[in-house]
Chains A and B, each alone.
Chain A
Amino acid sequence: MTTSTATAPAPAATATAVRAPGPGRLRRRLAQWGFVAPAVVFMLLFFGYPLVRNVVMSFQHYTPKTFFTGEAPFNGTDNWAGVFQDALFGKALWHTLVFTAGSLLGQFCIGLALAVFFNRRFPLSGALRSLILLPWLVPMVVSGIVWRRILDQDTGVLNSFLDTVGLAGHTPWLTSPDLALLSVVLVNIWIGIPFNMVILYGGLQEIPKELYEAASLDGASAWRTFRSLTLPLLKPVITVVLVLGFMSTVKILDLILALTDGGPADATQTLGTLTYQNSFVQLDFGAGAVVGNVLILISAVFAVFYLRANRTEGK
């Protein structure tokens, strides 16, 4: 049986060698394309089509009527002008930037600190590490609802606690327009820590132990070791964590809907909530698509960074 399979392809191979563009070559080409086809079809269907559709929709007068008639007349840049003139858009853009920057900074710093902490083995470190993963496992909406209760001004656990230890116990976490965005960022930091920790922890494990030994022989302090050894070697992982974190944070919607619904007084409206509100409350799908496109554009810029980072890592 082994001989039969071994001999079978041999004549085929010689045949392709003789006639260069012969059927064997073609067959192999087709086979290659066959492997690629599912991925290409998937991408076109689930990423390409919605993306193109969204761009087209942002130039259309797309209303509930469209669903019946199928007619969505093009209206030039009306949707874009309308959205950009809306004072709420500027506000939402600013909130999105603050939210994203604040969340990433907090998540990353605490995540990195925890990763470095858990990189040293100590009793129960495994158990503790898995406990810290919990926020990641809880659905975003559940976290949002629980935190809304915790942060309630009068009956929330946090304020009751602050009260008992004698601190300002009546902090209007979610009910003051000045504080709401900060509160939402804090909750999102809590949610994002596990992701940052896990990836950075994995990166730390990759750094050879000998390097640390060498550093300690050279008499480097802990801080010096971290700055000159850990950070540079962790750089590719850091880039990936930050870029992935950015892309999942910038489009935030569920957490904010559960915590504040964009309020109070639009203090926590982000591009995500704005596109939701335009499309699904006002049913102005054209305007919703404009805001969605802006979000995609912002993400796309960072996707380029991500690909760059991946490429340099590959080298």
Chain B
Amino acid sequence: MSERFTRGGKPTVTAPSPAAVRRLRAGSRGAVVPLAAASASVLIAGVALSGCAQQRDGDVYTVMNSSTDESYHRWDAEAMARCGERLGVRIEQQSVPAAQVMTKALRMASSKSLPDIVQFDASEMPVFAQAGGLVDLRSLGLSTRDIPEGIVNFGSYKGTYYGAARSVNTLALFYNKDILDQAGVRVPTTWAELRETARKLTEGRRYGLALSAGGAEDGVFQFTPFMWSNGGDERKLDGPRVVEALDYWKALLKDGSLSKSTVNWTQADVNDQFMAGNAAMMINGPWQVETLNTRKSLRWGIAEIPVPEAGATSVGPLGGAVLTVPRTGDAERERTAGRIVACLAGEKEQLTYALNSWMVPANAKAAAVWRERVPELDALADQVAAARSRTARLGAGWPDVSLALQSAFQSALTGQSSEAALQRAQQRATSGN
């Protein structure tokens, strides 16, 4: 800290201080002046101090994550306490809102105050890895045994394993059992069935299906299972397969099976609509289960997202966070951080975390146990097995494509032709703007 203080504070502290010293000799009239100057230097000192938020302390290790929810924060704190005890260190948790993890980590990198472990959303990790900010976890002794290849890739950038996932999630079709039973319809498995069922279940204020096509990553996340199951490729947004998928969304909207508000809904909004009985089915992820279960009268089921043709594989997006060790330049601490990651992402901790958060363990052995313990989410485990990471093909180029895609499906859902919208998106994605 002292080093940063002198470096950061130098030009600013010297500015008022000569004046302040002279002022002290200025006699009675100057009495107020030192006070003014002093207040300025206090202010400046404050600024200089705030620059050095983190000072690494011997046995205290910091994990930065986005567990700002009370329950997640508690589960993480408990896991960290257990691992800390096992490794003989103290692990502190620093939680910031998910959207700020990347920018905060970058700021910390420039001020050389990175925490020992950062939990990134897996779609963001490549950006940090590309900037050269992460340590290869294999070099720290982490093994990828028992972790399915898809999930190893999920935590890798250009073949290097930077991020260990504790659990993964994906999207699935949630349905209201009572509504389906009453209407006497089966859970849809193909696009045609989904369209038909959704139309049948739309009644009065209730829509057949709810999904998020909001102008943020939520909407893109929800579009990918339709794009990928249809054979679409995010590197060629104007390809016929992607256009078909978007046309399918448009058809659902045109049928009236989707609310027109879809373009303004986040995934949390979708869940609210489903819970309120305003939608018979929804596309959503397991992180909503905790909220869903607060409504005891709601009987819901879960199934794989319908596919274009019977027999096709339902390919969803892999979601979730990965634990990474940023380059701090202190090899000894990095090694310990690696051991902490290994513990937090170990089979035992994974199972505990997955059972708490309703997500699927990344480790195959833990996942097998999890399937037995949570049979109602079996469909989710199948969906995860075939799921794909958003950054597998694009790496650090994902954010540009994601933004272009958001704009495209929103344009198409509000009137434009899918083809024109996606053609523009492809141009925008390749121009990098």
Looking at B19, B28, B102, B278, which has the most chain A CB atoms within 10 Å of its CB? B19
The closest CB in chain A to the CB of B327 belongs to A68
Size of the B side of the interface (Cβ < 8 Å), in residues, is 65
Once A34-B36, A45-B47 are accepted as A-B contacts, the answer to whether A64 and B128 lie under 8 Å apart by CB is: yes
Dominant secondary structure at the B interface:
helix
Asked if B37 and A264 sit within 8 Å, CB to CB, the answer is no
Q: A42 with B131: in contact, given A263-B215, A264-B413 (CB under 8 Å)? A: no
Using known A-B contacts A8-B28, A175-B261, A264-B410, determine if residue A85 contacts B433 with beta carbons closer than 8 Å: yes
Q: Provide the residues of chain A in CB contact with B23, threshold 8 Å.
A: 30-31, 34
- Partner-binding segment picked from B82-90, B105-113, B182-190: B105-113
B133 sits at the interface (CB 8 A)? yes
The answer to the question of A254 belonging to the interface, with a C-beta cut-off of 8 Å to chain B, is: no
Indicate if B127 sits at the interface (CB-CB under 8 A).
Answer: yes
A281: interface (CB < 8 Å): yes
Cα–Cα distance between A92 and B33 once the two chains are bound (Å): 48
A-B interface contact total, Cβ < 8 Å: 161
Q: Is A262's beta carbon under 8 Å from chain B?
A: yes
With both beta carbons as reference points, the residue of chain A lying nearest to B326 in the complex is identified as A68
B342 → chain A, closest Cβ, in Å? 25
A162 within 8 Å of B by Cβ? Answer: no
A262's contact among B12, B16, B40, B215, by CB below 8 Å, is which? Answer: B215
Given known contacts A64-B106, A65-B130, A261-B216, is B278 in contact with A155 (CB within 8 Å)?
yes
Tell me the residues in window 232-283 of chain A with beta carbons closer than 8 Å to chain B beta carbons.
260-266, 277, 280-283
Q: Contacts of A266 on B, CB cut-off 8 Å? A: 215, 407, 410-411
Q: Interface 1/0s, chain B 184-219, versus A by CB < 8 A?
A: 000000000000000000000101000000111000
Residues of A within 8 A of B410 (CB): 177, 263-266
A12 at the interface (CB under 8 A from B): yes
Contact with A along B324-358 (1 / 0, CB 8 A): 00010000000000000000000000000000000
State A123–B88 Cα separation when bound (angstroms): 71
Q: Across the interface, name the chain B residue whose C-beta is closest to A5.
A: B28
Q: Which residues of B are found within 8 Å of A153, using beta-carbon distances?
A: 259-261
What mask results when residues 45 to 75 of chain A are scored 1 for a CB within 8 Å of chain B, else 0?
1000000000000000001111111100000
Q: Which of B43, B130, B264 has the most CB of A within 10 A?
A: B264
- A265 near B407 with CB under 8 A, answer yes
Indicate if B15 sits at the interface (CB-CB under 8 A): yes
Complex contacts, A82 vs chain B, CB 8 Å: 432-433
Name the CB-closest residue of B to A170.
Answer: B260
Residues of chain B contacted by A88 (CB below 8 angstroms): 428, 433
* Contact code string B259-303 (vs A, CB < 8 Å = 1, else 0): 111111000000001001010000000000000000000000000
Beta-carbon contacts under 8 Å, A135-182 to B: 148, 152-155, 172, 174-177
Cβ contact within 8 Å between B33 and A264: no
**A70-B110, A172-B260 in contact; A30/B26 too (CB < 8 A)?**
yes
Residues from chain B with a CB closer than 8 A to the CB of A172 are 260-261
What's the minimum C-beta distance from A255 to chain B, rounded to whole angstroms?
14
Asked if B406 is at the interface (CB within 8 A of a chain A CB), the reply is: yes
The one of B273, B327, B414 that contacts A175, using a Cβ cutoff of 8 Å:
B414
Q: Mark A67-96, 1 if CB is under 8 A from B, else 0.
A: 111100000000000110110100000000
Contact B416 A265 (CB under 8 A): yes
> Which of B12, B26, B47 has the most CB atoms of chain A within a 10 A radius of its CB?
B26
Looking at the complex, which one of B16, B109, B276, B411 makes contact with A265 (CB distance below 8 Å)? B411
Assess whether B143 is interfacial by the CB under 8 Å rule: no
Measured CA separation A270–B39 after assembly (Å)? 39
Name A156's closest neighbour in chain B (CB-CB).
Answer: B261
Query: Is A121 in the interface zone, CB < 8 Å from B?
Result: no
Smallest Cβ distance from A56 to chain B, in angstroms? 15
Choose one: A65, A174, A262, A282; the contact of B132 (CB below 8 Å). Answer: A65
| A126: Cβ under 8 A from any B Cβ | no
Least Cβ–Cβ distance between B329 and chain A, in angstroms: 11
CB pair B403–A282 under 8 Å, yes or no, is: yes
Flag if B403 contacts A27 (CB, 8 Å): no
Interface string of A1-13 (1 = CB under 8 A from B): 0000100110010
Bound-state Cα–Cα, A155 to B102, Å: 35
The answer on a CB contact under 8 Å between B130 and A64 is yes
Known: A172-B260, A175-B261, A282-B399. A45 touches B44 (CB 8 A): yes
Known: A8-B28, A64-B106, A67-B109. A37 touches B37 (CB 8 A): yes
What is the CB-to-nearest-CB distance from B408 to chain A, in angstroms, rounded to a whole number? Answer: 8
Q: A265 to B128, alpha carbons, bound, how many Å?
A: 29
Tell me whether A154 and B261 are in contact (CB under 8 A): yes
CA–CA, A38 and B26, complex, Å: 18
By beta carbon, the residue of chain A nearest B32 is: A35
Bound-state CA distance A260–B406 (Å) is: 13
- Contact of A307 with B by CB under 8 A: no
The residue that A27 contacts in the complex, of B27, B127, B207, B214, with Cβ under 8 A, is B27
Report the separation of the CA atoms of residues A194 and B292 in the bound assembly, to the nearest whole angstrom. 40
Measured between beta carbons, the chain B residues less than 8 angstroms from A33 are: 19
- Which residue on B lies nearest to A88, using beta carbons? B433
Indicate if the CB atoms of A86 and B433 lie closer than 8 Å: yes
A37 touching B40 in the complex, CB below 8 Å, given contacts A27-B30, A86-B433, A175-B264:
yes
How many whole Å from A303's CB to the nearest CB in chain B?
24
Chain A residue at minimal CB-CB distance from B30: A31
Pick the contact of B40 from A30, A31, A38, A154 — CB < 8 Å? Answer: A38
A82 CB to nearest B CB, Å: 6
Contacts of B12 in A (CB 8 A): 41, 45
B400 within 8 A of A: yes
Across the interface, which residues of B come within 8 angstroms of A68, CB to CB?
109-110, 131-133, 327
- Asked if B103 CB lies within 8 Å of chain A CBs, one says yes
B252 at the interface (CB under 8 A from A): no
Q: With CB as the reference atom, state the residue of chain B lying closest to A279.
A: B103
On chain B, the residues within 8 Å of A65 by CB distance are 130-132
Interface CB pairs A-B, < 8 A, 12: A27-B25, A30-B22, A34-B19, A34-B37, A37-B40, A153-B260, A174-B264, A175-B260, A261-B216, A264-B414, A277-B403, A282-B399
In the A-B complex, the 6 residue pairs with the closest CB atoms: A263-B215, A38-B40, A265-B410, A265-B411, A64-B131, A34-B33
